[in-house]
Chains A and B, each alone.
Chain A
Amino acid sequence: MVTNAASFGRSGVHDFIMLRASAVVLACYTVFLVAFAAFSTPLTYEAWHGLFAALPMKVFTLLALIALLIHAWIGIWQVLTDYVKCVSLRGVLQFVFVVTAFAYLASGILIVWGV
C-alpha cells in the first residue's frame, strides 16, 4: 500500500470525498456570486457591501475559503506527485503552496469579518 502523508485526506477515499464536497461548495459559491452580479442592477458599492455585511454571506464566504484550501491542497498534492519526482523539491513546493493557501484563508477571514 502507498501512503499519502502530505495530502489533506487520510486515504484515497478520503481525498476523493473531500475533493468533491469542496467542489460542490465552490460551485455553489461561484454560481451565487455570478447570479448576484448579474441580477443585482445596478451593482453599486452599497449593494456589494450590504451583501458581505450579512452574517450568512460571511459564513458562506468562510466555507468557500475553507473549501478552496482543501481543494487546492489535495489538487496540488496530486499534480506535484505526478510531475515532481524529486522528493525534497516536492516537499518544499507542497509547503509553499499549502502555506499560501492558508494565507489566503487568513486574509479572507480578516477581510470578510472587517466588512
Chain B
Amino acid sequence: MTTMTQNQTMRDNSWLLTELPESVIEHDAARMPKWLADIRRSAFRQFTADGLPSAKQEKWRQINLRPIRETAFGLPADGATDVSEAEVVGHSLPFVDAVRLVFVNGRYAAELSDARAMPSGVTVQTIREALKSESTILETHLTKYVNADDDPFVSLNTALLDDGVVVHIEKNITCDTPIYLLCITTAADGPIITHPRNLIIAEDGAQATIVEDYVGTDGEVYLTNAVTELVVGEDAHLHHYLLERESDAAFNVSTLTAYHKTSSTLSSHTVLLGGALVRNNVNPIIDGEHCHSLLNGLYIGRGKQHIDNLMRVEHRKPNCESRQFYKGILTDESRGVFAGRIIVSRDAQKIDAVQSNQSLLLSEAARANSMPQLEIYADDVKCTHGATIGELDEEALFYLESRGLAEPQAKAMLVHAFAGESLERMNLPVVQEALLQMLTQRLPFTSAANV
C-alpha cells in the first residue's frame, strides 16, 4: 500500500488490523514532533510483533475477538463532519455548567463544542492544540503510566494516536465545572477505527471531574479504542466517569490507567450499555501511601452483547484502601465477564482491599463469568473478594407481590434497586438522573412500571 492522501476515500484504505501497514502511521508523522512520531513508531512495532490477542492468552480467554479481527477498518477522513448541532444536543448529557468537548470520529469538532472559559489554573486542550503550544506536559507524561504488556490495543492506540484531550489542573485548584468529553462516531461509509487518547493531570491538592461519553448510531460498525491516563497528585481527588453507549454493532475497547501519588483519591465510575463487543480495562497503580481508589461499575447486556471487564488494582505502597464494586445485569443472550485482580506488593502492608462482583441473570440464555482474583505478597493485609451470580431473589419478589405489586413491577423495582447501588456511589446528579432514564429504557420489565 502506498502513502495515503487526503483525497482518497476511506474505503480505499481499509485494512484488517492483522495487516496494518506502516504507511498508516507515517502518514501523520510529518505534522508531529519527532518524540511523538518515535513513540508511535515504537508502539507500531510492538503491535505488529504482538498481533491481536488470542483466546490462549489468559487475559483474553473469555472474549472472542474474531469480529474485530475479521473487520476491515479505515481511518476516519479528516475534514468536515456531518453531525449537526441538534444531534449533539440529542446525544449530550444535560449538563448546565460543563465544559463540553465534542469529538466526531475521533477528531475534535470545535464548532460543536462548548469550551467556556475555565477557572484559572485549569487547562483543557486537545492533543493537537497542546502539540502546537509550548506545553511540555505531553512529552513528560504521555505513555508513561499505561502498561502495554499483554495489551496490543494499548500499543495500537499509541501507534495511531492523533487526538484527544489534555487536562491539567494546577496545584490546589478545585475545578467545580465538570469536563465533559462527548465522542460521537458515525461510520455510515463503512467501518472505521478511532483511537481517542486522553491525559489528565491533577497536580497536588487539585480536584476535578472528568466525564467521558462514547456514543454512536445503532447499526453502524466501528471500533473505538480509547486510552486515558490519569495522574492523581498528592492529596488530589479525581472523579472519572466512563459512559459507553456505542452503536449496538460497534466494538469498544477502553483502557483507563490511574497513577496515584500519596494520599490521593480516585473515584472511577464506569457504565457500559452499548456495543456488540466491549472490553473495559481499569488499572489503578497505587504508588503512594494513604490512597483511596474506588472502581464502581455497572454493565447491562442485552441482545448478543459481550461485555468484558478487566480490573487490575496494583498496591505498591502500604496503608491504602481500594474498593471494586462491579455489577452486571444480563438479559437475552448477552454475556458479562468480570476479571478483577488485586495485586499487593511485598512491602505494601496494611492494605484494605475489597473486590465485589454481582451479576443478575435475567434470561435463560444469558451468561456470566466472574474471576475475582487476589495476588498477595504482604502478610498484614485485609483483602476480601466476593462474587454472586443468580436471578432475582424469589423471596424479595414474593414480598413485593404480597404487598400488591404486579410481577413485572416488582421485578422492575428489584432490578432498579440492584442497579441503583452503583448510581448512588456517583457524585454528579446530572449523570445519575440521565443514567436512571437510560436504564428505564433498557432494562427488562421497566415498560411495565415507572419506578
Query: Do A and B assemble together?
Result: no
Q: Which residues of B contact A (CB under 8 A)?
A: none
Q: Which residues of A contact B (CB under 8 A)?
A: none
